[in-house]
């Protein structure tokens, strides 16, 4: 099948000491993410997606509004989870950001603490399922935004994501039950691999390498 589930960049028990248990990763990656991949592969022919990259499919589906939702729901979620797995690591967390990223965040948010609060609030206030993001806007400035369900800043045209957090309940219910704010604090302070975020800032975003 053209789209594939990329392996996690760490073992399923690697983040257990950082607030994301093995069962969460097994279900979230092996069942939820895999289901989006399977469903997207099932749409390739009927939706004429052959030959397109995942990024192209997400952007085009976003422009189609309600008509694009059946594709966006699966393609967006496939892209979103590819980024999500990459921005966490067993050596993530802390307040020590790579210099260039810290300088940029200080410049565009007034400080790392201000950025973290804005990012957390975006996740807390996303009603229902969705994502919070750190993006590079077309003017080069960093910004925080949020999207519902499977949408992302590529599909909305807002910018290029370099950090994303899943606020669907399947991402945090086993570890934090219904307390999404605690999950977001934990994500920012214990899970984010700031080196990866800095690399994505430097490269201008993530290319999934996936296509139909
Ligand atoms: Fe998810």
Q: Examine residue 58 and state whether it is found in any structural domain, yes or no.
A: yes
pLDDT above 70: residue 41: yes
Q: How far is the CA of 48 from the centre of ligand 1 (A)?
A: 26
**Residue 99 belongs to domain spanning:** 20-206
112-126 tens-digit pLDDT: 999 999 999 999 999
Distance 83 CA to ligand 1 centre (A): 11
pLDDT at 145 (0 to 100): 98
Distance (angstroms) between ligand 1 centre and the Cα of 180 equals 14
Q: What is the pLDDT of residues 153-208, one digit of tens each?
A: 999 999 999 999 999 999 999 999 999 999 999 999 999 999 999 999 999 999 99
CA of 50 to the centre of ligand 1 (A): 25
Q: 132 pLDDT exceeds 80?
A: yes
Residue 180 dihedral angles phi and psi, to the nearest 5°: -60, -40
Mean pLDDT value of segment 37-52: 98
How high is the pLDDT of residue 8? 98
Residue 1 predicted with pLDDT over 80:
no
Are 79 and 55 a contacting pair, CB within 8 Å?
yes
Distance of CA 71 to the CA centre of its chain: 17
Q: Is 164 helix (H, G, I), strand (E, B) or coil?
A: strand
Report the share of the chain in percent with pLDDT over 70: 100
Domain count for the chain = 1
Confidence of residue 95 (pLDDT cuts 50, 70, 90): confident
Whether the CB-CB separation of 190 and 16 falls below 8 Å is answered with no
What pLDDT does residue 52 have?
A: 98
Distance 103 CA to ligand 1 centre (A): 30
Q: How far is the CA of 78 from the centre of ligand 1 (A)?
A: 9
pLDDT-above-90 percentage for the chain: 98
Within 13 Å of residue 12, how many CA atoms lie on the same side as its CB?
11
- pLDDT tens digits, one per residue of 58-88: 999 999 999 999 999 999 999 999 999 999 9
CA of 110 to the centre of ligand 1 (A): 30
Task: Check which CATH number belongs to the domain holding 175 and give it.
Answer: 3.55.40.20
What single string gives the DSSP state of each residue in 23-48?
HHHHHIIIIIIHHHHHHHHTTTTTTT
- Residue 4 falls within a domain, yes or no? no
Q: Work out the burial of residue 177: count CB atoms within 10 Å of its CB; fewer than 13 is exposed, 13-18 middle, 19 or more buried.
A: exposed
Distance (Å) from CA 184 to ligand 1 centroid: 14
Rounded to the nearest integer, the mean pLDDT of the chain is 98
> For 132, phi and psi rounded to 5 degrees?
-110, 150
Residue 105 main-chain phi, psi, to 5 deg: -65, -45
Q: How far apart are CA 89 and CA 71, in angstroms?
A: 30
* Residue 7 resides in a domain: no
Answer yes or no: is 93 within a domain: yes
Report CA(47)–ligand 1 centroid distance (Å). 24
Q: Rounded to the nearest whole angstrom, what is the distance from the C-alpha of residue 115 to the centroid of ligand 1?
A: 23
Report H helices in the chain.
22-27, 34-41, 54-63, 69-86, 99-109, 112-125, 153-156, 173-176, 180-186, 194-203
Q: Quote the ligand 1 centre to 206 CA distance (angstroms).
A: 18
What is the pTM for the complete model shown? Answer: 0.98
Ligand 1: centre distance to CA 131 (Å): 9
Is residue 210 within 8 Å of residue 54, measured between CB atoms? Answer: yes
User: Within a domain: residue 133?
Assistant: yes
Ligand 1 centroid to Cα of residue 107, in Å, is 31
Q: Is residue 12 assigned to a domain?
A: no
CA of residue 29 to ligand 1 center, whole Å: 8
């Amino acid at each position: 099948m053209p789209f594939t589930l990329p392996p996690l960049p760490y073992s399923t028990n690697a983040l257990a000491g950082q607030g994301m248990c093995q069962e969460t990763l097994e279900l979230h990656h092996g069942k939820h993410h895999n289901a989006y991949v399977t469903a997207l592969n099932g749409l390739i022919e009927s939706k004429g997606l052959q030959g397109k990259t995942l990024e192209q499919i997400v952007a085009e589906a976003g422009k189609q509004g309600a008509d694009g939702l059946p594709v966006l729901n699966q393609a967006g979620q496939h892209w979103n989870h590819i980024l999500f797995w990459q921005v966490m690591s067993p050596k993530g967390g802390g307040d020590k950001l790579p210099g260039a990223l810290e300088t940029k965040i200080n410049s565009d948010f007034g400080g790392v603490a201000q950025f973290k609060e804005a990012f957390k609030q975006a996740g807390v206030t996303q009603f229902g399922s969705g994502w919070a993001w750190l993006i590079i806007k077309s003017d080069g400035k960093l910004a925080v935004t949020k999207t519902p369900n499977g949408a992302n800043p590529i599909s909305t045209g807002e910018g290029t994501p370099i950090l994303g957090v899943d606020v669907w309940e399947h991402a945090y219910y086993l570890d934090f039950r219904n307390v999404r704010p605690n999950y977001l604090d934990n994500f920012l302070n214990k899970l984010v691999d700031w080196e990866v975020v800095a690399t994505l800032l430097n490269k201008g975003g993530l290319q999934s390498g996936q296509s139909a």
